[in-house]
Amino acid sequence: MIFTSIGLGRYGNTKAILQNVKLRSRGKTLLKPNLVAGGAAATHPEALRAVLDSLDVDIIAEGSAVDTKELYSSLGYKKIARDYGVELIDLNEGDKWEKIEFLDINKKPKKVRVSNYASCDVISLTLPKTHDHAIVTLTLKNMLGFVHPEDRSLVHGYASSFGKVMRIKPLRKIASGFSRFKILRRLYSSTEVEEEKYVKGAKVIHKNIAALAKYVKPKLGVIDGYTGMEGNGPIGGDTFVWNIAIAGEPLECDVYCAHLMGFDPKEIGYLRYLNAPRL
């Protein structure tokens, strides 16, 4: 079942769609925002508050492409976690990992590490964004933050230049002001790689996202669509005001939201791999 709210603002829409949601937790409930970088690419703190006001959450956790703790501070997440008595975790600094398989650009299996926090009951809270390689990034693509930072770029089937640069801790901190650094946006963008890698990567990224989503299995998807990103997403695109929110089973949320964004869900590979008949 999918719940949708329109026209009530960011907090109001998110709160409204969660009124009838009941989570039956087996253990700890983890709220996973999308903080691949700061600014318009990040889950807004007001959406975070709306979820915390509606559901019982034990942990907020993210593994950013830059410095997670810096973003927690600059976006006000640290204060929110204190206000609600919720544990705040940087997934990039974890010490317990499980292994799953991604495919490289030659379609050969490659082991990648996934945080043990993925075993929690996961709520995926994100905003709707276009993606230069995966077409859209919504609640399921958001699970990539659980992958070890040194392995994360392998979702594309190869180790990216951005991933290598971001292994240097001081640069991760500087890069938290991501939108101000054009060179970092270029390194992040998959259009900056050789054409052969881009084409091969486009063929495997959808299988890798599907493999990750099957492993993590988020319990609830929440899309704060008060604003979204179009064009050169997921980092350097243009912000648009939409004033909508969607919640429910994550795959259904992503299929529905992709349709509302103007895409044919049947043409988004990872949605097909996860359950083509439901499209």
- DSSP string over 90-113: EGGG-S-EEEEEEE-TTS-EEEEE
Q: What is the DSSP letter of 147?
A: B
Average pLDDT rounded to a whole number, residues 208-227: 98
Question: Cα(146)–Cα(143) distance, rounded to whole angstroms?
Answer: 6
Q: Is 146 in a helix, a strand, or coil?
A: helix
Q: Give pLDDT, residue 172.
A: 57
Q: Give pLDDT, residue 103.
A: 97
Percentage, residues of the chain above pLDDT 70: 86
pLDDT at 277 over 70: no
The tens digit of pLDDT for each residue in 197-206 reads 778 888 899 9
- Domains of the chain, first to last: 2-274 (3.40.50)
What is the residue type of 6? I
Q: Give pLDDT, residue 171.
A: 59
Average pLDDT rounded to a whole number, residues 226-232: 95
Cis-peptide, bond into residue 234, ω within 30° of zero: yes
pLDDT at 182 over 70: no
Contact 145, 63 (CB under 8 A): yes
CB environment 184-210: b (16+ within 10 A), e (fewer) = bbebbbbeebeeeebebbbebbbbbbb
What is the residue type of 37? A
Q: Is 193 in a helix, a strand, or coil?
A: coil
Please say whether the dihedral angle defined by the alpha carbons of residues 133, 136, 142 and 143, taken in this order, is positive or negative. Answer: negative
Measured in whole angstroms, the distance separating CA 164 from the mean position of its chain's CA atoms is 20
